[in-house]
Each structure stands twice: as C-alpha cells, then as structure tokens.
C-alpha cells in the first residue's frame, strides 16, 4: 500500500489544480489503481477512458500511468498517485471500464464507487465503498464500510476491520460464512453448503446485513 503524506489539513485539498483525461491504447485486460488519497469511480462503458482531478500543491504529488505487457494478448494499465511530501494532496479518478475488464484498487484514504463492473479487488485503509458488481468481489477495508449489489451465483470475500458490510443479492440458496457481532439475514436468503454463490464476510466489530427483496436505496 502506498504511504499517505504525514500531514493532513482540513480543506487543504479542496482546490483543483488541474484535470486531465485520456483514452489508453492497447489490448488492456486489467486496470490497477494505486492512490494515497481521493475517490475512485468505476463506470461501465464501451471504451476505456481515464479522467483525473488533481488537488494539492505542486510537488506534493507523484502522478503516473503506464501500460505493462502481461502476455501476448493482454496488457495491464497501472494508474498511480502518490503523496510524496508532508503537503496534503488528493486525486479523484473516474474510469470508464469496458465489459470483461477487472479492476484492482489500492486506496489509502477515500471512497470507491462502482457500477456494472465485472470483477473488483479492493484494498482500502480508511473510507467507504458503494459497489454494483457483476463478477467476483474481494475487498479488505481497515476502517470504514462496504455496500454492494451482487448477481446470482457470485462470490464475495469481504473483510472490514472496523465497520459494517451490507450486500443485496438475489433470493435463493447461498453459501454464507459470516464472522460478525451482528448478522441480519433476509428470510428469502437460504444458507446452503451446496449453493454456487459463496459469501465470506468478516466484520468483527460491526454488522453484516444481507438483503434480497429490500432495496439498498434505503440505507445508501
């Protein structure tokens, strides 16, 4: 995980220094995002595009992107934003992601939003995530919360050190393994060791809530 700047001043990163947008070229089959502070928004679309809003003093941030060869038919896009001084900085990143392209995110502090993404791996030290995922989900949050909508027969492995987990899933049979101080299970969700959909959820100091018919809009 990238290290955050040593000093955070309230409101110091509110002013936008500049914005940028680009369409990465190549046969990109995975996107990797590593950011110290900011927000990451993932939206389904036909063409891969990156838009970034940079906040913070000049020289406080190391910003880069590169495309790395993975195999003959696969390349990985890496987006990196690292605070390199005691001055505060943040980067808000919006990515339009084509179908079939999974995303890996490492975020020290901030928020993550995703809509219609086929697969997501998330490492978040402090913050929150609000996700609509069509594929597998792996998430580790140190301090914060996670809300997600998952399709039938999906798999999710989520651990939150200090905070809550809430999932909306189709009714039916699921393999549910929950470690939590408080579990709320919709009556239309049936635990079965033979189910295809598998949920491993850990929130030792918070709650785990699994919805089926009840919309997550009530708690978002």
Domain holding 42, by residue range, is 16-98
pLDDT computed for residue 132 by the predictor:
95
Pairing label, strands 61-71, 16-22: unpaired
Evaluate whether residue 88 is within a structural domain: yes
Q: For every one of its 220 residues, what pLDDT tens digit does the chain have, with 9 covering 90 and above?
A: 333 333 333 334 568 889 999 999 999 999 999 999 999 999 999 999 999 999 988 888 899 999 998 877 789 999 999 988 777 889 999 999 999 999 999 999 999 999 999 999 999 999 999 999 999 999 999 999 999 999 999 999 999 999 999 999 999 999 999 999 999 999 899 999 999 999 999 999 999 999 985 544 455 5
pLDDT computed for residue 12 by the predictor:
44
Q: Are the C-beta atoms of residues 103 and 30 closer than 8 Å to each other?
A: yes
Evaluate whether residue 204 is within a structural domain: yes
Evaluate whether residue 32 is within a structural domain: yes
pLDDT computed for residue 15 by the predictor:
82
Q: Are the C-beta atoms of residues 125 and 109 closer than 8 Å to each other?
A: yes
pLDDT per residue over 44-72, tens digit each?
999 999 999 999 888 888 999 999 988 77
Distance CA 199, CA 94 (A): 28
* Last residue of one domain, picked from the residues 67, 98, 129: 98
Say whether both 47 and 127 belong to one domain: no
Q: Kindly list the distances between the CA atom of residue 116 and the CA atoms of 75, 96, 156, in Å, as whole numbers in the listed order.
A: 21, 10, 15
Say whether both 219 and 148 belong to one domain: yes
- Structural element, H or E, at residue 71: strand 61-71
Say whether both 145 and 68 belong to one domain: no
Say whether both 165 and 127 belong to one domain: yes
* Last residue of one domain, picked from the residues 98, 128, 162: 98
Evaluate whether residue 6 is within a structural domain: no
Evaluate whether residue 106 is within a structural domain: no
Evaluate whether residue 136 is within a structural domain: yes
Evaluate whether residue 167 is within a structural domain: yes
* Last residue of one domain, picked from the residues 98, 129, 164: 98
Say whether both 123 and 217 belong to one domain: yes
Place of tokens 């901030």: 110
pTM of the model: 0.88
Say whether both 198 and 127 belong to one domain: yes
Say whether both 147 and 83 belong to one domain: no
Distance CA 98, CA 23 (A): 12
Say whether both 216 and 130 belong to one domain: yes
Choose among 143, 88, 85, 139: nearest CA to 117.
139
Evaluate whether residue 10 is within a structural domain: no
pLDDT computed for residue 213 by the predictor:
59
Say whether both 161 and 74 belong to one domain: no
Say whether both 93 and 124 belong to one domain: no
pLDDT per residue over 12-32, tens digit each?
456 888 999 999 999 999 999
Extract the tokens encoding 6: 């040593």
pLDDT computed for residue 71 by the predictor:
78
pLDDT computed for residue 34 by the predictor:
97
Domain count, the chain: 2
Say whether both 129 and 218 belong to one domain: yes
Q: Are the C-beta atoms of residues 150 and 167 closer than 8 Å to each other?
A: yes
């Amino acid at each position: 995980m990238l290290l955050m700047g040593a000093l955070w001043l309230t409101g110091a990163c509110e002013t936008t220094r500049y914005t940028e947008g680009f369409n990465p070229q190549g046969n990109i089959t995975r996107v990797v995002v590593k950011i110290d502070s900011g927000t990451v928004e993932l939206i389904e679309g036909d063409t891969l595009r990156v838009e970034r809003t940079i906040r913070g003093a000049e020289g406080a941030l190391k910003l880069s992107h590169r495309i790395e060869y993975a195999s003959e038919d696969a390349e990985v896009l890496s987006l990196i934003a690292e605070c390199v001084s005691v001055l505060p900085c943040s980067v808000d990143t919006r990515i339009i992601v084509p179908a079939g392209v999974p995303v890996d995110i490492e975020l020290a502090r901030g928020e993550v939003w995703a809509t219609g993404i086929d697969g997501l791996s998330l490492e978040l030290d402090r913050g929150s995530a609000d996700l609509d995922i069509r594929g597998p989900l792996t998430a580790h949050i140190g301090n914060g919360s996670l809300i997600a909508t998952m399709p039938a027969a999906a798999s999710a492995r989520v651990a939150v050190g200090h905070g809550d987990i809430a999932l909306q899933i189709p009714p039916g049979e699921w393999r549910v393994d929950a470690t939590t101080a408080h579990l709320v299970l919709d009556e239309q969700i049936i635990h079965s060791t033979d189910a295809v959909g598998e949920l491993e959820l850990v929130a030792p100091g918070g709650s785990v809530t699994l919805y089926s018919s009840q919309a997550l809009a009530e708690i978002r």
